[in-house]
Structures are given as structure tokens and as C-alpha cells.
Structure 1
Amino acid sequence: MLTNSVPTSTQLDKPGNSASKAPKNPSRRNQERETIQIITKDLIRNLRIPLKDPSVDSVILPSAEFQRIPSTARVLTKEEPEAVREAHQRKKEEGIRAAEEMKRKIHEADLSRMKNQALTELELEARDRAQRLLERANALKMEEEDEIKKLNNLILAAQCQATRDVQMDEKKQIQAELSEEEKRLDAMMEVERRRALETHSRVKYKLIGGGGGGGGGGATIWTVQLESVSSPTGGLLLLQAMEKKREEQQHLNEEIMRINTETMQAKEQRREEEKLADMRNMEYMRNKMKREAEYEAEQRRIKKEKELEIARLRARQEKAKDYKSEQDDLRVRRNQEASDREWRRKEKELSAKKAQEKAMLRAARMEQVHCKEHLLSMEAGREKAEFERVLKVQHEAIVRQQEDEQKQQQKARNHADAIRNQVRERGLSAVAKRREIFKEANQFVEEARQRRVRLDEIKEKKLKELKATGLSERYCSEVERKACAL
């Protein structure tokens, strides 16, 4: 390290200036720092080099960012944000228009390049495939048209009608053949029926001729049945049954007599028991009446003794009551005298207290009067100051209101100008839209004409295909007539 007195190096600051580097004295943190001595024509300066490079913490801003910071730090007026938004919107619209124009140019360039460029075999094949797919899609799309659907329905109906007519003719032919076959079968069945009738007639005649000897057997059976009913064994059985029935009747009568006897005995026994119960009840009632008489006599005796005791107690209470009344009168007189003395004392104290309160009230009243006068004077000063302040505020409000009205008028004028510009722009836009609508209408008319042409071609093609199927001319003419009406 070198001292300040001995320069070690010299640097040129400007033309004709030089700088020398010298060692630095120890700092308070016991760290040594380098110093640079700059010598110019009229001044010698010693600069200390910091221990930390300040360029590390520095930030380098571009000029646009540096200009943006003070511009955003400025407080905007009410009109400036609207102007900024309008400028931003215009810039955005210009960007959109420029982008659309660029896209249009690129598309036109691609189209021109594709037209002028020779196609390869793969591209030709792809184009043909795309063309076929497009034609197929258009054909399917045309099939979805209502007219084509109706034509298809007419063709299908004609084919169905032709098929049905053929089926009806076949059915009629089959029915004719079936009727002829049924007639033949009916004739055969009639022949067979007649043969069966003749055979049945011959069999019946034979039965009638050989059936005369069968009547004697039936009479024999009937006689046997009657004899079995009128034999002696049947009478004996009947007598035994009657005897058995009589015995059962006699046994039943004996059982009834026994039950009646037992019932009579039970009734007699029940009457005896009821008689004994009545006698016991009468004895119980006599004893009960006797006990009640004794109880009433005892109650009368007890009541008489209680009345005598009550009379003695009443006489004693009367005597005690007289003594108590005398004592009460004496106590009342004493209490009255004490209350009179207390009342006179309280009246005296109350008079003194009232006099003291009157004096205090007079003093307080005087003090309130003085305070009120002071407050009134202060209130008058405050009201005067408030009036002046309100007057000043009103004047400032009037000035601000006038300024606001001027701003509102200016804003209204600006708004009216903007509205007029918008109306003018909308008018131009409406004209452009009408032109576009007319153009679209012409396109729609042309598309409708082309659609009608395509529909006619498809109808003609389908009618030719229908005739090629070999369908009768009658059905083809009917379909063609209805197709022309679509």
C-alpha cells in the first residue's frame, strides 16, 4: 500500500487532467479502502473507492420505460382517461384492420400460387378424391331436400302400388283355384255321406229283426227285486228297530224325571239358606242399632263436656282481653306523645332546611344568570363566525358549481360531437350493410335458381331410373305428373 503523499498512478479525466491513486487511511471498522486522487487544472480531489460495487444494485432502464414512469406518476384529469381509452380503441381497431388486410393478402397470394403451380400426381389424386367426396356430399345434401324426399316417397309408393297390384292378382288366382278345389272336395264328401247312410240303414234293419226274445229277462229281474223286499226277514228287522227305539224313549223319560227331582231338591235347599240368611241379617241389624244408640249417647256426653270447657275458656279470654285493652290504651297514649314530639322536631328541622335551600337556590340562580349571559355572548360570537364561514363556503360552492357547469357544458359539447360522429359512422355502416344485404339477396336468388336446376336434374335422373326398372308406364306417368307438381 502507498501513502497519499506518494502517487502511484495517474489517470486522464479530461484532456489535460490527470488522476493518481493513493492508499487510504484505516476506517472506523478497521478496514482499508483505496482512494483516488484526481488532479485537474484548478482542483485536486481525493475520492474513496467503496468496498461494495454500487453497480450491482443499480437498475438500467430503457428510455421508453423511463419516460413511462413519470407519465404514469402524473395525476390525470377527468377527460384524459377517456381520450386515452379512445386512442387505445382506435389503435386496436387499426391493428385488427391491418391484420385482416394482411390475412387477405396472404390468402390471395396462396390462391395465386396454387393456381399457377403445377400439381403432382398425388395432389391430382387428392384433388379428384376431394372432388368425388364433395359431389357425394352434395348428392346426399340434395337427398335431404323436401322435394327430393317427396319424390322418393312417390317413387316408393308407386313401386309399392305395383307390387301390391301384382300380389292382388296372384291372390285372386289362388282364391279361384281354392274355390275349385273346395267344390271338388264337397262333391267327394257328399258321395261318402250317401254311402255311410246306406250302410247305417242296413245295420238298423238287422237289429230290429233279431231283438224280439229279450223282454222275458227284464221281467225276471223285476220280480226278483219285489220278492226281496216282501220277505219275512225284512219284517223281523223292522220289529227289532221299533223295540230299540221304544227302550231309548223310556230311558230318556227316566233321565228327565231324575233331573227334575234333583232340581226341586236344589230349590228347597236354596230357600232354606235364604231364610237363614234373612235371620242373620235381622240379628245384625238389631246389634247395629244398639251400638249406634250407645255411640250417640257417648257423643252427647262428650259434646256437653266440651261446651262446659268452652264456656270456661271464653270467660278466661274475656278477662285477658279486658287487661290487654287497658295495656293497649296506655301504650297508644305513650306512642302518641312520642310521635308528637318527633313531629315537632322534624318540622323545625324542615323549616331550617327550607331556608337553607332557598338561600342556595338564590345563589345558584344568580350564578346561572351570569353563566347564561356569558354563554349568550359566546354563542353570538360563534354564530357570527359560523355565518361568515357559511357565506364563504357558499361563495366557494357557487364558484365550483359554475366551474362544474362549464365543464359539463364542455363535456356535453364533446359528447354531442362524439354522437354526431357515431351517427355519421352508423349511417355509413348502414349503407354498407344495405349493399351487403342486396348482394346477399342476389346470391340467394342465384343459389335458389341453381338449386332448382339441380332438383330438376335429380328428378329427371330418378324418373329415368324408375322407367329403367321395368315398371308399368301407368305408374311412371303418375309419378312424373306428381313430380311436376312439386
Structure 2
Amino acid sequence: MATTGKFHSRAKQPKLTGGDHSIEECNHRLHDKYIHFKPMKATDDKEKIQIYDGKETRDLIVPSRQPLDVPAILPNSEFQRLKKQAQVVTLQDRMAMLEEAERQKNALAMESAMRKENLLKAQKRQMAVLGSKLDTVESEAASKNLYLLKRSQDLIIEQDDRVKAANGVILAAKCRAIRNAQISEKKLIEKQLQEENKRLDMMMEQQRQKKIIVEEKKREVDKKKMVRYTKEIKQQMKENELLRLMEMEKIEEESKLLNKALIQMQKEEQQKQQAKKETQAKMREEFKKANVEVENYKLLKLEEQRIAEMRIQQFMKGKAEREEAREKELAAEKAAKEMEIARLRAQQEKAQDYRAQMDEMNALRMYEEKEKEWRDKEKAAALKRKQMVEDLKQCRAKQLEDIRKQQAVALARDEEDFMKVAKVQRMLLDKDLVEKKKREEQKLKHKKELLRQINDKEREKIMQHQEKFEDGKVQRLEYEINDRKVEDYLKDKIDRLRENNVPEQYIKDIERQLKIKKQEK
């Protein structure tokens, strides 16, 4: 991408969406530099120093005390955000914000109270219409209330001692009835089991008799079959005997014919053996002749080998004499060569010793020069490192001083902000304490009112009880009504037992124990 400036960055520069020109079209300068200039590296155009930390040399950037004067081009949204964040909220602003929030809260509470009051005024009493859903709901609620009332009365009656005793008697009668029923059922089951066993025994006996009859019939059939099989076997034995005799006669005839054939074969075999013996005798004679010829050939072969060995021995002896003479000549030549080589080697060693001494002197001189040069370099490097360390210490001291100043300023600013916030918090805390005190006073007042109402109610109850106890007739009447209720309740229990098919004898026993008169039908 081409630029109008002298320097340009390798990275692709984005185009600005706002402003009167783009980066590519800008040629504005500041301090002889383009305002959109971006260096190739972060360390370009910055003061640097080198330090040696014992292992390697590093480049450090020296912080600049001059402020950055390169302008920045920001979009409108970023500018508005920075502008908004730059606003400082003062104590008055915070108090105003708190008051506004409290005012809005009170306004909402008043609106809610007004809406509630309007709803209460607008609400009308609804009357249930016969057959409507509301009437159905009310009837169900009424029936449910009646059931609950009846159930509560029953529970109250259940707490009576007579009812508790009656429950025990009824429970004992139930247990006795259940026990007797179980015993009767057990006896009935045993009786049925015995009858079933008898029936099974009878059936098994019948089956056994049937099987006996079947077995007898089967034995008769087997006996008849055995007689028939015996006759058939005897007949087969006779037939087999006849066949065996015929077979023996046939075998005898065949054996006679076979004997004749064997005699003829023996005669032929004897003739063959005689001819074979004659042939073998002729072959033995021929083998003897061949063996004699082989022995003669072996003797000739041994003589030829002896002559050849003698010739080889003579040749080897001559060869050894020639080799011995040759070795003597070679030894003389080798001795002369070794003497010449020793002389030349001595001369060469002398020359090498002189050259080695010269090389050693030259190497020593060069080593001293190199060592001197290295010491000079080390001295210069040490001085340079010392100077760099001193400069670095000064820079660090300046940095520490700047940091301390910045920390002091920041600490003072934080302390001021803290005091402001603490003041606001104290004000809010005082306000909360006042409101809390008001709420406590209201609670205490409400509690006193409730206690007064409770005391009035208790006083009324005590007076009512005193009036009841003063009137003896009312008390006796209550006892009679209670007894009648208990008796009716027990009669209902006995009726439920009859409905559950409890035997009459147990019901009479319960009535006798509870001293309940039998109801007239």
C-alpha cells in the first residue's frame, strides 16, 4: 500500500470511518514526523542501554520524561465514552441521586396504595346463582364443612373413657371372631384335604388294577410270541445244518483240487532251483577270474605311485636348496637398505628438532601477544560495564523517585475519596438508624395493642366459664347430652359390625358387656 509519508508500516493500516480524511490521504506533520507514523519495532527511536547480567547482554529501554505529543484519532463513540467517564461525581451529585431514588420509591408506594384502595372500592359482593359454578363450589364447601364437623365430633367422643373401653371390647370380640373363623377354616381345610387324599388313593388303586390287567395281557402276548420264535429258530437251525454239510462237501472237493495243484507247483519249483544253482556256479567262476585281474592291477598301481613319490622328493629337495640361496641374498640386501634408512632417519630427526624449536618460539611469542590483546579488551569491557552499571543505577534511582511521588499523589487522592465516601456512608447510616427506630416504635405499639386484645379475649372466656360453672343444671344437662351422644355412637358402631357380617353371638356379648339396650325394630 503506497503512502505519502516518508516512512510507512508493513502492517495494513485500517481506514477511518470518521473525520475529514483517511490515513492514506493524510500528510500532516508534527515535529517533522507524520502524525500517522508507526515504527517497525517498539524499540525504534527510543533510548536504550546494554547491561550484562553474567550470562548475556540485554538491551533496556530508558523511560522518557517527555510527554507523548503524538495525537490520536478516535471514532465518535470512543470519544463520547471517554467524555462520559471523565465526569467526576461529587458529594452533592450523590446526595441528589439518593434523594431522587427515595422520591421515586415514595411515589411508587403511593401509587400502589391508591390502586389498592380503588380496587377495594370497586369490589362488589357476588351472590351465588342456583346451578352456577359458584353455587356448586359453595355446596361442596358446605358438605366438606359438615363432614369435618362430624369428624371432629366423632374424635371428641372417641376421647371418652366409655368409648375407649367399648373400643377395647369390640377389638377383643373382633379378634375372638377372627380367631374362631380361622380355626373353623383350618378344620374345614383339613377335612377337605383328607377327602382329597382319599379320592387320590382310590384313583391310584384303580390305576394300579388297570396296570396289572394290562401287564397280564402283555405277558400272554409275549409268551405266544416266544413259542412262535422258538419254532422258527429250530427250523432255521435245521436249514443251517443242511447248508453246513453241503458247504463241507464243497470245501473237501476244492481241497483235493488244491493239493493236486500244489504238487505240480512243487515240481516246477524244484526244476527252477536246479537251474538257478547251475547259473550261480558259472557266475562264481567268472567272479574269481575278475578278482585275479583286479589284484594284478593294484600291484601295478602301487609301483607307479612309489616311482612318482621318489620324483617328487627329488624336486622338493632341489627347490629347498634354491630357496635357501635366495633368502641369503635377500637378507644381505635388506641389511644394506636398513643401514641406509637409519642414516637418513638420523638426518631427518635433527632437522625436525630444529624446526620444532623454531615453531615453539614463534608460538610462544604469538601467545604472549594474544594474551596482552585479550587483557586490554577485558579491561576496556570491564570499564564499559562499570559505566553502564553506574548509568543504570542513576536511571533506577530516578524511576524510584518518580514512583514514590506518584504513589504519594495517588495515596492522597484515595484518602480524599475515602473521606468523601465515608461521610456519605455516615449520613446514610444515620438515616437508616432513624428509620429503624421508627419501625421499632411501631412494632412495640402494635405489640401492646395485640396484648391488650388478647387480655380482653381471655377475660371474656373466663367470665363465660364462670357463668357455666355457676349454673349446675346446665352442667348436668351437658353430661346427659354427652352420655346420649356416647350411647348413640356406640350403637352406631354395633350397627356397623352387623353390616360387616359379624356373628350375632359376638354382638350380643358386646352389648352385654357394654350394657347397651337392644334397639327395637
Length-normalised TM-score, structure 1? 0.40
Where relative contact order (Cα < 8 A, 6+ residues apart) is larger, the structure is 2
Length-normalised TM-score, structure 2? 0.38
